[in-house]
Structure 1
Amino acid sequence: MIKGWIFDLDGVITDTAEFHFKAWKQLADEEGLSFTREDNEQLRGVSRADSLRLLLKGKTVTDQHFEEMMTRKNGYYQELVEKMGPEDALPGARELVKELRSRGIKTAIGSSSRNAGRVIELLQMEDIFDTIADGHSVANAKPAPDLFLHAASQLGLSPDECVVVEDAEAGVEAALAGGMCAVGIGPAERVGKAHYVYAETADIDLKEVMG
């Protein structure tokens, strides 16, 4: 029996992909690195450190420089994020979470982003999630299941009592590895391994998923 839903943040509840692109692009330009929108797609659902490794494309840097670049990118991203408001929630996202809660279902955010809490605050959605598992919560990023297992634990639920909503291949793989029901948002070539696939969050059919 499903008792909890765990939502990825980017691409499911809101879409800060453009902010991430602009922040990574600014860093890449400063470092003399090539970075395109196609490159940005490869970073979907990937932790900040792994994203930077992909950006560097094999270029070696000192640990100190690596940390500084991550901090610099996050600063650019945070500047853009601070302009967000409730209107930046994706269509249907707020309504879906509220509907679940009206049915007595627990809800959580399970996001690799270390800024997840702040983004939820800016969206004014902090009162409709029971817990937020983010990039600070676990050591192993998706596709490891750790983040979603942590979120389930925070909800007081077992993995088989949880649904995970994800828009990234790595996130779907993490949900499946954790023994959870996976709902994929986006094209089948990206999230087709999920138990259920919908084009957008607003398209999720609760009757279909919940049975």
Structure 2
Amino acid sequence: MTKFAAIKGFVFDLDGVIADTSVYHAQAWHQLATELGVAWNDELADDLKGVSRMDSLELILKAGGKTDAYTQAEKEAYATKKNDNYLALLKNMDASAILPGIADFLADLKKHDYQLSLASASKNSPLVLEQLGLADYFSARVDPATLKHGKPDPEIFARGAAILNLRPDECIGVEDAKAGVQSINAAGETSIGIGDLQTLAAADINFTSTKDLTLANIEQALA
């Protein structure tokens, strides 16, 4: 792992790391899965975390044995419908949705001159950041529409470092999903996994809660 002193930037996922938007995604996907006649369960919900919209739809269809049941145009229409449901749910979001400790952590990173970028698969991340009042922290954002590959491919986190003009080994990536941690590792960055230790065992550093995400704790973990 990279030494703490060499770290110059942090590349963040959004859902489940900065704010609990995953609950809105889950509700919207649940609505669509029910419409498609696919049984919803916790395992399927976990599999969708950190995955792009179209890839998430494919996972739902696969779970229901419906992979070849729809045309590409129909799939895109369903993905759009899910997003419309999600945006409607987002209207109730405000700063209270910021996960514990994250606002203080972001302020501390800025205070210590770390560079920050956002590597979210969500095309709605600018809207979410505005609603949370955190947009000023993330002027550097990876545009998911420009990506060729979704997580666990390293492209999004590699791009997150590149837009900061930093090497991957100068960055720490922060994720709450297994696919996201795999993406960070494959990009050559130091990975922090937030959540279940067993699920995120591949992460270089594990914290069970965002409350534990502090520079002091990271420095200790990299000592």
Question: Following TM superposition, by how much is the alpha carbon of 1:136 offset from its aligned partner in structure 2, in angstroms?
Answer: 1.9
* 1:32 equivalent among 25, 32, 37: 37
| Alpha-carbon distance in structure 1 between the residues aligned to 2:109 and 2:90 | 27
Question: Following TM superposition, by how much is the alpha carbon of 1:134 offset from its aligned partner in structure 2, in angstroms?
Answer: 4.2
| Alpha-carbon distance in structure 1 between the residues aligned to 2:131 and 2:95 | 7
- Report if the CA contact (8 A) 1:163-1:180 is conserved: yes
1:55-99 superposed Cα distances (whole Å, 9 cap, x missing partner): 112311111111100000010011111221111110111110110
| Alpha-carbon distance in structure 2 between the residues aligned to 1:33 and 1:176 | 32
Structure 1 residue runs of 5 or longer lacking an equivalent are none
| Alpha-carbon distance in structure 2 between the residues aligned to 1:37 and 1:122 | 27
Q: Which moved more, 1:9-18 or 1:30-39?
A: 30-39
1:172-203 superposed Cα distances (whole Å, 9 cap, x missing partner): 11111111010110111111111110011110
- Counterpart amino acid of 1:44? K
* 2:111 equivalent among 91, 102, 109: 102
- Counterpart amino acid of 2:165? G
1:83-130 superposed Cα distances (whole Å, 9 cap, x missing partner): 211111101111101101100101111111111111011101011223
Aligned to 1:49: 54
* 1:160 equivalent among 169, 180, 186: 169
Q: Does 1:172 align with 2:177?
A: no
Aligned to 2:25: 20
- Counterpart amino acid of 2:31? Q
- Counterpart amino acid of 1:17? S
Aligned to 2:3: none
| Alpha-carbon distance in structure 1 between the residues aligned to 2:148 and 2:217 | 34
Q: Which moved more, 1:18-27 or 1:31-40?
A: 31-40
Question: Following TM superposition, by how much is the alpha carbon of 1:40 offset from its aligned partner in structure 2, in angstroms?
Answer: 0.9
RMSD across aligned positions (CA): 1.3
- Report if the CA contact (8 A) 2:105-2:214 is conserved: no
Q: Which moved more, 1:25-34 or 1:114-123?
A: 25-34
| Alpha-carbon distance in structure 2 between the residues aligned to 1:175 and 1:37 | 24
Identity in percent: 39
* 2:127 equivalent among 118, 136, 139: 118
- Report if the CA contact (8 A) 1:137-1:147 is conserved: no
Aligned to 1:204: 213
- Structure 2-normalised TM-score? 0.90
- Report if the CA contact (8 A) 2:197-2:206 is conserved: yes
- Structure 1-normalised TM-score? 0.95
Q: Does 1:85 align with 2:85?
A: no
